[in-house]
Amino acid sequence: MARFNGKVALVTGSSNGIGRATAILFAQEGAKVTITGRNAQRLEETKQEILKSGVPESHVLAVVTDLTSEKGQDELIDSTIQIFGRLDILVNNAGTAVTDAQGRTGLDQDVSDFDKVMQINMRSVVTLTQKAKKYLIESKGEIVNVSSIVAGPQSQPEMMYYGMSKSALDQFTRSIAISLIPHGVRVNAVSPGYVVTGIVESIGFPPGSFEKLAAYWESHKECIPSGKIGRTIDIANVIAFLADRKLSSYIIGQSIVADGGSTLVMGIQAHDMMAILAS
């Protein structure tokens, strides 16, 4: 029997990237899935990929909506309950970075960008989780939040607001993990390192930009020690592990780093100690 048989999973941001891979994996492993995003065409692509792997159409609910609107969030929860009758797994994955078109960073970046990034990466997570709470308590379900290694402890001068949104998300994960575990609901997170997705294009860079970055990072051990940039399935597998109570029941309120070793290296390691000593 597939490990998520009989479960219902709602995966936000499943019209692309990590969310898409996660929704496909859950569906292939037996779950009924609600998939969502603003882009109807890309959401349909996710649905078709799920169906291609032999999942019945009755196991997929696609909801096109903007997650920053509470009306959209209500629609998402209500239609999931109406169609599938329950909710077992909530994956708060939708998110973005929001960079400045003029290249301003740190404190120079306009505070309206701070508002935008907090709106989707943090506020919508809080309100959607509030709306999902009673159904997750009924099912004694799981929440998996998608954080990032930009949450810290390293500084993020180029994407400060994005980093701040993910630090806040980590505190949210820890706090609600403790308030919900007495009700049987487990909350955890994954903190991906660099993963090839649509996120670089979504913040205004041309197609192929992430692949260009990936090629550079993969060839610099101080960027990705494993020498291989992450793929969406690498993160989907961690999300599925955290949503699978049989495998991860003793993990509460943690954020599991999956980054090819990126956060373990310091700049000094970028330089060859033996070559320096020999010079």
Task: Answer yes or no: are the C-beta atoms of 109 and 160 closer than 8 Å.
Answer: yes
Contact call for residue 263 and ligand NDP (CB under 6 A) = no
Q: Given the residues 135, 161, 162, 194, select the one marked as catalytic.
A: 162
Contact call for residue 94 and ligand NDP (CB under 6 A) = yes
Site string for ligand NDP, 202-221 (x = CB under 6 A): x-------------------
Contact call for residue 198 and ligand NDP (CB under 6 A) = yes
**161 tagged catalytic:** no
CB of 92 to ligand NDP, least distance (A): 8
Task: Answer yes or no: are the C-beta atoms of 83 and 135 closer than 8 Å.
Answer: no
Contact call for residue 95 and ligand NDP (CB under 6 A) = yes
CB of 147 to ligand NDP, least distance (A): 7
Task: Answer yes or no: are the C-beta atoms of 11 and 23 closer than 8 Å.
Answer: yes
Contact call for residue 260 and ligand NDP (CB under 6 A) = no
Cβ neighbours for 205, distance < 8 A, ≥ 6 positions apart: none
Residue nearest to ligand NDP (CB): 17
Tell me which of 3, 28, 30, 39 binds ligand NDP, using CB under 6 A.
39
Residue (15 or 173) nearer to ligand NDP, CB: 15
Distance of CA 225 to the CA centre of its chain: 22
Residue the block writes with tokens 């049987």: 184
Residue (248 or 255) nearer to ligand NDP, CB: 255
Tell me which of 16, 73, 80, 188 binds ligand NDP, using CB under 6 A.
16
- Six-digit token pair at 65? 């909506």
Specify the stretch interacting with ligand NDP by CB under 6 A; choose among 90-98, 153-161, 171-179, 250-258.
Answer: 90-98
- Six-digit token pair at 247? 């495998």
Cis geometry, peptide bond prior to residue 206 (ω within 30 degrees of 0): no
Beta bridge partners of 9: 33, 89
Contact call for residue 99 and ligand NDP (CB under 6 A) = no
Residue (38 or 221) nearer to ligand NDP, CB: 38
- Six-digit token pair at 207? 């197609």
Q: Which helix (H) or strand (E) holds 27?
A: helix 17-28
The pairing of strands 60-64 and 32-37 is parallel
Task: Answer yes or no: are the C-beta atoms of 60 and 51 closer than 8 Å.
Answer: yes
CA–CA dist 207, 205 (Å, integer): 7
Tell me which of 3, 29, 42, 126 binds ligand NDP, using CB under 6 A.
42
Tell me which of 3, 45, 68, 258 binds ligand NDP, using CB under 6 A.
68
Task: Answer yes or no: are the C-beta atoms of 118 and 160 closer than 8 Å.
Answer: no
Active site residues: 162
The footprint of ligand NDP (CB under 6 A) covers: 13-19, 37-39, 42, 66-68, 93-96, 120, 146, 148, 192, 194-195, 197-199, 202
